Amino acid sequence: MAPVPPKDADTPRVVVYYQTIHQRGKYISMMELARAGATHIIIAAVHLHADDPHRIHINDDPPNATKYDTMWKEKKQLEKEGVEFMCMLGGHAPGCYTKDTLDAPNRETFLKYYEPLRDMLRDYGFHGIDLDVEQAMTTPGIVRLVDQLRADFGKHFYITLTPVATALMGLPHMSGFDYFDLDEQRGDKISWYNVQFYNNWGNIESLDTILLLGWKPRKIVLGVLTSGENGSTRPPPFTDMKRAMDKAQDTYGQIGGVFGWEYFNSLPGGRERPWLWTEEIRKILPVGPPKEPTDPGSKAAGCNDPSRADEEGEAELPHNFEYDSDGIEGEA
């Protein structure tokens, strides 16, 4: 088993998305993830509903549903071992980022939906929020949301976004707003980007293109599927991932880490030992200070780094979320 790095090590993040919480009536435990080397667990997915601002769900149920009692207990235990928890807001299921909710043209409506979300984040002690905007949202809307979160939670709260890889290459994507514009305006308030290099929105070779365009390496977390069951493309081999990350580090500097969608059936361990994916990722990530890039001419679009505030072809639109924490699988 790969050793868990010390809390202050200059080590890339290993981010695990935890969306399928029960499978065939059995709870999927997170407890092996600390020993495996996970740094962040993102509970997915939080949903808002236009018909009731106080109706906030994690997948199909409110956060206080008894089915989540074990999850909250494990969260507290894992936090003692140094793992930090975020929640993912949105995804391909509609509702969170519409003109009726968080992208409302007037502040009064925005606050009506934002404030219950803020209270939920506080009540359950999240260390951050992952904004997965997969419907068109305006630039003023996302800027307002980032500003409000940073104002309410301070500089030590993680605010991340989850763009598909094409969004950071100036190509068509799902979020509506321009990520280059957003990073220029609010890059100092965004902790990092969990970038989806799968489902035909890009692959691990796209990492080089994104960094060549000037995105700051430490703000880019390489996102991959953990199983072919979790999307429309296959997970890349670990050897290919290591090669892509080593090339990025040698050319541009150390990237921000790796994320996996999603936990419960991660290969090579599958449903019986899903934490083995995290162990394999930890093995291929460097530990210690990043090397100096060999290309001093690379500039950065995402140059503000508050890491804590610090194949060709037509892209295939991901399938709709079918959230069911009792075992129906969704996609990020």
Tens digit of each residue's pLDDT, the chain (332 residues): 444 444 444 679 999 999 999 999 899 999 999 999 999 999 999 999 999 999 999 999 999 999 999 999 999 999 999 999 999 999 988 899 999 999 999 999 999 999 999 999 999 999 999 999 999 999 999 999 999 999 999 999 999 999 999 999 999 999 999 999 999 999 999 999 999 999 999 999 999 999 999 999 999 999 999 999 999 999 999 999 999 999 999 999 999 999 999 999 999 999 999 999 999 999 999 665 656 665 544 444 454 444 444 433 444 444 444 444 555 444 45
> What's this model's pTM, rounded to 2 decimal places?
0.89
pLDDT at 185: 98
| Whether the Cβ atoms of residue 90 and residue 96 lie closer than 8 Å to each other | yes
| Whether the Cβ atoms of residue 41 and residue 30 lie closer than 8 Å to each other | yes
Q: At what angle do helices 238-251 and 276-284 cross, to 10 degrees?
A: 30
Residues 6+ apart with CB under 8 A from 201: 164, 165, 166, 173, 315
pLDDT at 331: 43
pLDDT at 277: 99
Which CATH code fits 13-284?
A: 3.20.20.80
pLDDT at 93: 85
Euclidean distance between CA atoms 98 and 13, whole angstroms: 31
| Whether the Cβ atoms of residue 130 and residue 173 lie closer than 8 Å to each other | no
